[in-house]
Structure 1
Amino acid sequence: MSRLCVVVGGSRGIGQAVASLLAEKSQRVVVVSRNLDAARAAAASLPGADHIGLNCDVSSEQDVQRTFEQILRECGNVDYLINAAGISRDALLARTRPEDMMSILHTNLLGTMLTCRASLRSMLQNRGGAIVNIGSVVGLKGNVGQTVYSASKAGLQGFTLSLAKEVAPRNIRVNLVAPGLIRTDMTAALDEDELKRAVPLGRFGEPRDVAHAVHFLLETPYVTGQVLLVDGGLRLAS
């Protein structure tokens, strides 16, 4: 059965891989991105028909509300929500500008809270649904130079587990995927040859690796409130 899947941050990286996999599985996908052209281009590239791209600044409550009202009006109720939008401004805390702190927290943490809240109306009308939030292994183990980013992803874990408890009686499942070193734009500047030595599986992951984990959690009806690491064993090496 085709489901309506909203992929926030679906125009690139992990989000794009998730959107692509869901479309291959015959689901209808709404790609949400800050950039409208990027969202539309990503939606147009997906296999199948009836996918759309919308722009939204997830850090803005009004923008999130507007976007989800448009989705409800034009596409119907949301079955699946995937929150893959995220930014990183790496720096030691003493050198991190307050505006960068706010930008990271508003996008990575507050944005997910707002989209989850906005999607619940649809899922309650559907009498069920599933949400997967994209965290990070550094939210569990920390990392030098990523204090604010780590805090935003650790906050996502607590938020996900709490929301899972709140909405489980309404047949809505909420889980978190915590990727490690994944080959995306965000990691393009890193020294892959050096860093992969710390990964027990000996390589960076691909966005598609994370997408398969997301799909598993969306489609598995008796799993909620879980944190699934997709890190090649990196957490074991900490």
Structure 2
Amino acid sequence: MKCALITGGSRGIGKAICVQLAKDSDYHILINYNSNKSAALETLKEVEAEGNTGEIIQFNVTDANQVKTTLDTWQEKNKDAIIEIIVNNAGITKDGLFMWMPQNDWQDVINTSLNGFYNVTNHLIQKMLRNRFGRIINVASVSGVKGTAGQTNYSAAKGALVAATKALAQEVAKRKITVNAVAPGFIKSDMTSELNESELKNLIPVNRFGEPEEVAFAVSFLASKKASYITGEVININGGIYS
């Protein structure tokens, strides 16, 4: 059984990626969630509606022990399963001006996006290397490539994720493992629901926010065999706001 693991897969961009991979591939979809079980089950329902299989898997990406224990337990129960695709999508924002930023807001954001990538990928990559195949796709952000005022913590986390993508890609390329990132701009989701869309869209050349599916299409392509010669790359999906 070949599997794709999507962290933070219950809502927003993560959910769209789960559903798109269910449409485009025959991977068994592992929908990771931290606290919102009902949303994860809803995503699973949509995955199954595409005629594919999946399951929900609960762990907090920031907790290295929990990640390891949960994935090892899952592997024990599914001895023939191989996780061939990892989509590191889990992320949080705690926006505010840097000079007033509490240490927790700095730490929590970095822990989720950056350490979450390490905890999940580092644990699973040994097996990918042995199997000589894998796709690692990191969900970064326009903030990580251009920097966004009020998001120094998020920009730092996502910028580091971009750099990690480029470095890791070089380490594992000979084993037919590709490592790429997507950097979404303003995408309609819970994370952007507080933003004033009618005001902000004037800054975006295509004059609208993006849909989660528009990120998911690119992720699905990068996860496919068609993208085997693309690695260490960052695809900006931002309606032209920055490239």
**Matching of residue 214 in structure 1 with residue 219 in structure 2:** yes
Match of 1:174 in 2: 179
Match of 1:62 in 2: 65
Does the CA-based 8 Å contact 2:2-2:82 persist in structure 1? no
The partner residue of 1:78 within 60, 83, 101 is 83
Q: How does 1:29-178 map to 2 (within 5 A)?
A: 29-35=29-35, 37=37, 38-46=39-47, 47-75=50-78, 76-178=81-183
**C-alpha distance in structure 1 between counterparts of 2:74 and 2:89, whole Å:** 18
User: Could you tell me the TM-score, scaled by structure 2's length?
Assistant: 0.92
- The code of the aligned residue for 2:229 comes to Y
Match of 2:5 in 1: 6
**C-alpha distance in structure 2 between counterparts of 1:141 and 1:182, whole Å:** 16
What is the Cα deviation at residue 165 of structure 1? Answer: 0.8
- The code of the aligned residue for 1:6 comes to L
Cα gap change, 1:16/1:172 in structure 2, threshold over 3 Å: closer, same or farther? same
**C-alpha distance in structure 1 between counterparts of 2:118 and 2:74, whole Å:** 18
Share of identical aligned residues, percent?
37
**Which region of structure 1 is more displaced relative to structure 2, 149-158 or 70-79?**
70-79
Deviations 1:204-238 (A, max 9, x none): 000000000101111111110000000010105xx
Give the aligned CA root-mean-square deviation in angstroms. Answer: 1.4
**C-alpha distance in structure 2 between counterparts of 1:150 and 1:4, whole Å:** 30
Q: How many residues align?
A: 235
**C-alpha distance in structure 2 between counterparts of 1:202 and 1:71, whole Å:** 44
**Which region of structure 1 is more displaced relative to structure 2, 153-162 or 29-38?**
29-38
SS of the residue aligned with 1:169? helix
What is the Cα deviation at residue 66 of structure 1? Answer: 1.5
**C-alpha distance in structure 1 between counterparts of 2:209 and 2:128, whole Å:** 35
SS of the residue aligned with 2:129? helix
Does the CA-based 8 Å contact 1:77-1:125 persist in structure 2? no
Match of 1:19 in 2: 18
SS of the residue aligned with 2:182? strand
**C-alpha distance in structure 2 between counterparts of 1:136 and 1:36, whole Å:** 23
**C-alpha distance in structure 2 between counterparts of 1:175 and 1:67, whole Å:** 25
SS of the residue aligned with 1:79? strand
Consecutive unaligned residues in structure 2, runs of 5 or more: none
**Matching of residue 229 in structure 1 with residue 229 in structure 2:** no
**Which region of structure 1 is more displaced relative to structure 2, 73-82 or 179-188?**
73-82
**Which region of structure 1 is more displaced relative to structure 2, 97-106 or 29-38?**
29-38
SS of the residue aligned with 1:177? strand
SS of the residue aligned with 2:83? coil
**Which region of structure 1 is more displaced relative to structure 2, 19-28 or 39-48?**
39-48
